[in-house]
Amino acid sequence: MSESDEDLLARCQLGSLRAFELLLLRYQPRVLRFHEKQLGDREDAKDVTQRTFLQIHASLGRFKPGHRFAPWLFTIARRQGIDFLRQVGSRRRVHEQLLSEPEPVAGADPQTLLGQREEVDAIWRWIWQNLDQRSAELLWLRIQEELDLSEIAMAMMLTRSHVKVLLHRARKSLLRTLSQESSKLSNKTTGTTHRTVSQFLL
């Protein structure tokens, strides 16, 4: 049975390098995906992901027992990404690589699965290109990382009520644009458009 994040953190705080390696293996792909979307460049994302975990290691003593690890991690990850963007004076760019995959439909043929991948990629691409960065980050943490409102509030340094309002606004904007683009998306897939879109609006 694998150890919980919090148990591994407790071991890290006692000086266990092995425990930190296990956390790194568990979370590095997720942090890398977040930074790829946040920064729009894979090489930059790799660099900032390294910075994120270096900062996490340096800040282990600040983690408070009884809290979940993931919101604390993404608080640091988000700050590192923002700091990087400020340092290089970069604007957010649209990244063309597929970074999220929908759950496969049982019995679906490869062409249908490819259509699903393209559809989800198109939605995320639009989100990061057209929404403001904070709204895109909110949606990513809620949908991709499945953090609850309180955890997102912690990661984004906002109040829970503010997160709720911002998510509502972001989803309304997303729904409005997806409605305009629905015919285009529907041509790519058969029977999956509404299921895929609905996951962004839960």
HEC secondary structure over 180-200: HHHHHHHHHCCCCHHHHHHHC
User: Which of 94-98, 113-117, 145-149, 198-202 is predicted most confidently?
Assistant: 145-149
53 and 127, same domain (yes or no)? no
pLDDT of residue 123: 72
81 and 142, same domain (yes or no)? no
- On the question of pLDDT at 49 being above 90, the answer is yes
What does the pLDDT look like over 84-141, one tens digit per residue? Answer: 888 776 444 433 333 344 444 445 454 444 455 566 667 777 778 777 888 888 988 9
| Residue 137 belongs to domain with CATH number | 1.10.10
Task: Indicate the pTM of the whole model.
Answer: 0.64
* Domain end point (choices 40, 57, 88): 88
- On the question of pLDDT at 30 being above 80, the answer is yes
Which among 178, 152, 177 is positioned nearest to 165, based on CA atoms? 152
130 vs 147, residue with greater confidence: 147
Q: pLDDT exceeding 90 applies to what percent of the chain?
A: 35
Within a domain: residue 93?
no
How many structural domains comprise the chain? 2
Domain range for 190 is: 110-199
33 and 84, same domain (yes or no)? yes
The distance of Cα 116 from the centroid of its chain, to the nearest Å, equals 19
36 and 67, same domain (yes or no)? yes
Asked if residue 169 lies in contact with residue 135, where contact means CB atoms within 8 angstroms, the answer is yes
Angstrom CA distances, 21 to 3, 25, 48, 56, 128, stand at: 13, 6, 18, 12, 31
The distance of Cα 52 from the centroid of its chain, to the nearest Å, equals 14
Confidence of residue 54 (pLDDT cuts 50, 70, 90): very high
Q: Which of 6-10, 28-32, 103-107 has the lowest mean pLDDT?
A: 103-107
| Residue 47 belongs to domain with CATH number | 1.10.1740.10
- On the question of pLDDT at 29 being above 90, the answer is yes
Helices (H), 14-68: 17-39, 42-58
Asked if residue 12 lies in contact with residue 23, where contact means CB atoms within 8 angstroms, the answer is yes
